[in-house]
Structure 1
């Protein structure tokens, strides 16, 4: 089973109320191979919501208490992001997920690159909070641009 960011399958849970539909990824869900999650909604953040970025590091730093997830207006949402990551991990464990396809650049789902916390569009190397937690727990994390089904093996 695969965990997929719900926005990639057309669910309007993106911070601005929209989605990031990718038909090739939605096909995996339609084939019954995936479960959809939105860590930010699981952390009880509303849709729509203000954009958020990790300030002071990456998802790894948030998990270790050295960085915070802050909105453009300065509201701290670290607690909600940690809660959403934990709930996503619980779902992944329940369904036996070995793979996740998460939304690139997101402060929760970003895999490989995330925004730098200045709300300027600049990227830094690192993962979002949920991507980091899943990866740390042995789940192979991809984003919508680098997933490769042939690498997954038996799901």
Structure 2
């Protein structure tokens, strides 16, 4: 077992916390959480968003732009979820710090967890280069962040 656990997206560990109320289980990640080698967290749930919830995307940039106040996270219905995404990301980043975590494996393309590619804010399925809010914050705090697509 690793001495320092990984941080992983809860949905990859089998927790049904995605916007649509489902999980995106990755069996290896679920096993890592079960064995204590990983800690699962969901920034959107920790930001007090309900499950299920309308899908959201970053409009006007990526997670770094959201953290700097230059972009917003908007639900498909137009609701501004920016503060919830920032709050949840801060809670997950604090959890990582409290546990000495240096590496995270997050759900790909998510407005929270996406690393390297996220949706463009148009809700059209178009991907653009960039990081989600949580991924951006974790990188700012020095963590190694990668993504994985669950089942």
* TM superposition score category, shorter chain reference: over 0.9
Does the 8 Å CA contact 1:7/1:14 hold for their aligned counterparts?
Answer: yes
Q: How far apart, CA to CA, are the structure 2 residues paired with 1:48 and 1:31? A: 28
Aligned to 2:99: 95
Q: How far apart, CA to CA, are the structure 2 residues paired with 1:55 and 1:7? A: 23
Q: How far apart, CA to CA, are the structure 2 residues paired with 1:25 and 1:113? A: 21
Aligned to 1:115: 119
Residue from 17, 25, 45 that aligns with 1:41: 45
**CA deviation after TM superposition for structure 1 residue 31, in Å:** 2.1
Aligned to 1:11: 15
Q: How far apart, CA to CA, are the structure 2 residues paired with 1:28 and 1:121? A: 31
Give the ranges of 4+ consecutive aligned residues of structure 1 lying more than 3 Å apart after TM superposition. Answer: none
Residue from 140, 143, 146 that aligns with 1:142: 146
Does the 8 Å CA contact 1:25/1:144 hold for their aligned counterparts?
Answer: no
Tell me the SS of whatever aligns to 1:100.
strand
Residue from 48, 54, 62 that aligns with 1:50: 54
Q: Deviations over 1:38-60 (max 9, x none)?
A: 00000000000000000000001
Q: How far apart, CA to CA, are the structure 2 residues paired with 1:136 and 1:62? A: 13
TM-score (norm 1): 0.92
Tell me the SS of whatever aligns to 2:25.
coil
Unpaired runs of at least 5, structure 1: 146-155
Q: How far apart, CA to CA, are the structure 2 residues paired with 1:88 and 1:24? A: 21
**CA deviation after TM superposition for structure 1 residue 29, in Å:** 1.2
RMSD over equivalenced CA pairs, Å: 0.7
**CA deviation after TM superposition for structure 1 residue 26, in Å:** 1.3
TM-score (norm 2): 0.94
Unpaired runs of at least 5, structure 2: none
**CA deviation after TM superposition for structure 1 residue 24, in Å:** 1.5
> How many positions carry a matched residue from both structures?
145
